[in-house]
Structure 1
Amino acid sequence: MAVRDNVAILEVAGPLFKRANLFVHFSGATSYEILRRDLQAALDDRAVDAIMIKVDSPGGEANGCDELAAAIYAARGRKPIHAFVSGMACSGGYWIASAADRMIVSDLAVLGSIGVVLGIADRKKADERAGITRVDFVSSQSPGKRPDVETDEGRQRVQKMVDDLAAVFVSAVAKHRNVSAKTVVSKFGSGGVEIGANAVGLGMADEVGQFETALQGLSARGRRTKISQSTRPSAATHSPLPLAALVECAPSNPTAAGSVSGAIPIGEVGEQTVASVRERYRAFSAIEERSTLPTLHAHLRDRTSVSAREGGAVLKATANDLQRLSAGPVEDLEIAYLRRKIAAGAIGLEGYKLT
């Protein structure tokens, strides 16, 4: 997992498998379990404002795909989660991408392949040539345990299983994209694929774009969401965000009809919160030592929750210490102290001389 501009980037690349192993690592494949772990780490990291799921995968193993997609969908609302498709998001890759809040695709992105495929290899002739005869005994109570695909009944059993798996897939995509299962079956490629803008037009994705632009937009949205969450009345007095950011994003005139670029609606932030933030910011600007200790001043103002009065006291004490130290080295100060004590007769050291 990489982090850029406070956005965690989760790569969904190559064939998809549930568990990680050396084959997955060296072949450029992806593990659902590792993605799930990285997703949770990004959600728990307070330095991460948003999550980008970058997808370029033809799909893969069904086992585990539903759990990862469900976790992504359940995380909606905690932090903005976008998916960007570069190359392809097919089958399981699309299942995962569809779970994000929003899906952006490149012009040539290939989306779809919604469905399930199960292949059974018939090795009877090969075994015959090799002189191998296989005999299977299935418990009488379990006639469906080893269906014979050469019979109609056996094929029907296998087909039902595949159809049931596909129904879960279709239902999940319908939920993620807020459409009906019928729409997914009839308009989302019918098992085939759609390209870029065509996929957007059908509702399979939200917009065509480029990764860097999408990342910048998500980063900005993540900051706005974080500010919004941190300035709600229940958390306003313990905001983890730089207060300068709150001032910057709040309208200078709360009664104005419009708002500055990137501003949060005044109803969402709260007039009282905005007023208190502005007042604290003005109070810090009036501290006399701000020009002497600009770095410490900015840190106390923007990165802590101390009041301007407390911050001013810290700055004043620090400035006094610096002024005292600038008078000379500590050794010189100690010598001067002893010289004064000897001159006053407080230390009886006859013939003792300080150089």
Structure 2
Amino acid sequence: MQITDVLTSPWAIVPEKLLEIHAIYDARVKGERIDLAAVEARIGKPLANESQGYQVSNGVAVIPIHGVIAKKMNMFDAISGGVSTQLVARDIRAAVDDPAVKSILLHIDSPGGTVDGTQTLANLIKEASTIKPVMTFADGVMASAAYWIGSAASEIVSSGDTTQIGSIGVVTTHKDISKAEEQRGVKTTEISAGKYKRIASQFSPLSEEAQAHLQDQVDQLYTIFVDSVAENRGMSSDVVLEQMADGRVFLSKEALKRGMIDHIATFEQTITNMQNGVWPMNQEVTNQPAATSATNAPVANKPVSIDEIKAAYPEISQALINEGAEKERARIKSCEEASMRGYENLVASMKFDGKSTGETIALAIVREEQKIRNDKNAAFVSNAPQPVKSDPVNALEKPKDEAKDKVNDQSLPLEERAKAAWDSDASLRAEFSSFGSYLSFVEANGGKL
């Protein structure tokens, strides 16, 4: 970033930090020389323009994003405490390509920075998260451009209740230095072509038309900012506008309620949980190597093998194996407890199929019992004797009384008729001692029966 970018570039940064940057710029405009030794003593480090790189802790690559964010690093960024989006992008690609790195943690403590370079870095982070898990750890402040970048990770963790999150918005400034030049006896005349080429020049007051032009640019950048956060956080732009993007800075608990972050935890807890895979990433991951270019083309995924999962998460894999073995033992035990005498072979064939339970085996035994009973009933019916056929009897036809007819038949001899009466009437046999005495009685009575 050049010193003139302070005036010409739109910023996604908290206002207080922008004022501090303006103060540095004003000192340069006034011709004041910056005491570099004093600055180094104040910040406790040399003003070296070097990449911060990353450190790997048990498979987690920690990439620092500290200070004001700009596309390129120079002495101005170092004085104000800055980070280059280009160098962070380089470190992310290296971490994705590093076989020792299983996941990536972006350690962010930044008030934001220039818009230029921010979206490109955010897109790269989103691309990297499809290859390896990427998490953001907000430590102190993650505002404006820093939140834009951090929101592209799979999940966001805040270090504590006092961490500041948000400040979603865009700001640009116009500083008129014409009076300052006049006091120094200097007048700058610009020669330009094109209506808007120097419409907002610092060497003259800002016109209404120039202000409207700058406002239009800021509004367009703000829309891009909001849409990117909405896509990164999996919500609509309207929700981001209503809940997050009014320029305010929120403390962690309020940011959590508004869906701006996912967890509140210490740095140590975050590293441990990432190493153990306690917090699942929101996106599918693969072990493909990272793209070496800065393009934003999507990276194709490939399935993750069981061996890769075991290698990346050995403790979780073993815990899952132990849990599965315990459930399988319980399943086999329930199958054996459901067994009945005579069904040992059935139980043996089902208990090792990986899916049968005591309930399904009990149901299978009941079905076998029902089949046996049905077969026995069918055999009993088939072996039973056939019923004897007979002619139906007319229910209205009364059986004939042959003895009575014989008694009343006058054509028969009296003795035969008396014998028929004797045989058919038990009261006669009880009254007379013999058929002969009864016959004598009938003859004496004139043959009356």
TM-score range, shorter chain: 0.5 to 0.7
**Which one has a bigger Cα radius of gyration?**
2
Residue 189 (structure 2) aligns with: 135
Aligned residue identity for 2:185: G
SS of structure 1 residue aligned to 2:250: strand
SS of structure 1 residue aligned to 2:114: coil
2:234 is the counterpart of 1:147: no
Deviation by residue 1:262-306 (Cα, 9 ceiling, x = unmatched) = xxxxxxxxxxxxxxxxxxxxxxxxxxxxxxxxxxxxxxxxxxxxx
Aligned counterpart in structure 1 of residue 144 of structure 2, from 88, 91, 95: 91
Aligned residue identity for 2:138: V
Aligned counterpart in structure 2 of residue 194 of structure 1, from 244, 250, 268: 250
2:341 is the counterpart of 1:251: no
Q: Could you tell me how far apart the structure 2 residues matched to 1:128 and 1:242 are?
A: 67
Shift of 1:21: 3.1
TM-score after normalising by structure 1: 0.64
Unaligned runs of 5+ in 2: 1-53, 288-301, 329-449
Map 1:101-116 onto structure 2 (within 5 A).
Answer: 101-105=154-158, 106-116=160-170
TM-score after normalising by structure 2: 0.51
Map 1:212-231 onto structure 2 (within 5 A).
Answer: 212-221=268-277
Residue 40 (structure 1) aligns with: 93
**How big is the alpha-carbon RMSD for the aligned residues of Structure 1 and Structure 2?**
3.0
Aligned residue identity for 1:156: A
Aligned residue identity for 2:116: N
Residue 311 (structure 2) aligns with: 241
2:66 is the counterpart of 1:5: no
Aligned residue identity for 2:252: G
SS of structure 2 residue aligned to 1:53: strand
SS of structure 2 residue aligned to 1:164: helix
**Is the Cα–Cα contact under 8 Å of residues 273 and 279 in structure 2 kept in the other structure?**
no
Residue 223 (structure 2) aligns with: 167
Shift of 1:29: 1.8
Deviation by residue 1:297-341 (Cα, 9 ceiling, x = unmatched) = xxxxxxxxxxxxxxxxxxxxxxxxxxxxxxxxxxxxxxxxxxxxx
Residue 27 (structure 2) aligns with: none
Shift of 1:244: 7.2
Q: Could you tell me how far apart the structure 1 residues matched to 2:192 and 2:243 are?
A: 42
Q: Could you tell me how far apart the structure 2 residues matched to 1:216 and 1:81 are?
A: 14
Aligned residue identity for 2:240: V
Deviation by residue 1:134-191 (Cα, 9 ceiling, x = unmatched) = 222322xx21222256322211111111111111111111111111112222211501
Map 1:51-66 onto structure 2 (within 5 A).
Answer: 51-66=104-119
SS of structure 1 residue aligned to 2:65: strand
Residue 123 (structure 1) aligns with: 177
Shift of 1:24: 3.9
**Is the Cα–Cα contact under 8 Å of residues 132 and 286 in structure 2 kept in the other structure?**
no
Q: 1:47 to 1:125 in 2, by over 3 A?
A: same
Q: Could you tell me how far apart the structure 2 residues matched to 1:196 and 1:216 are?
A: 21
Residue 50 (structure 1) aligns with: 103
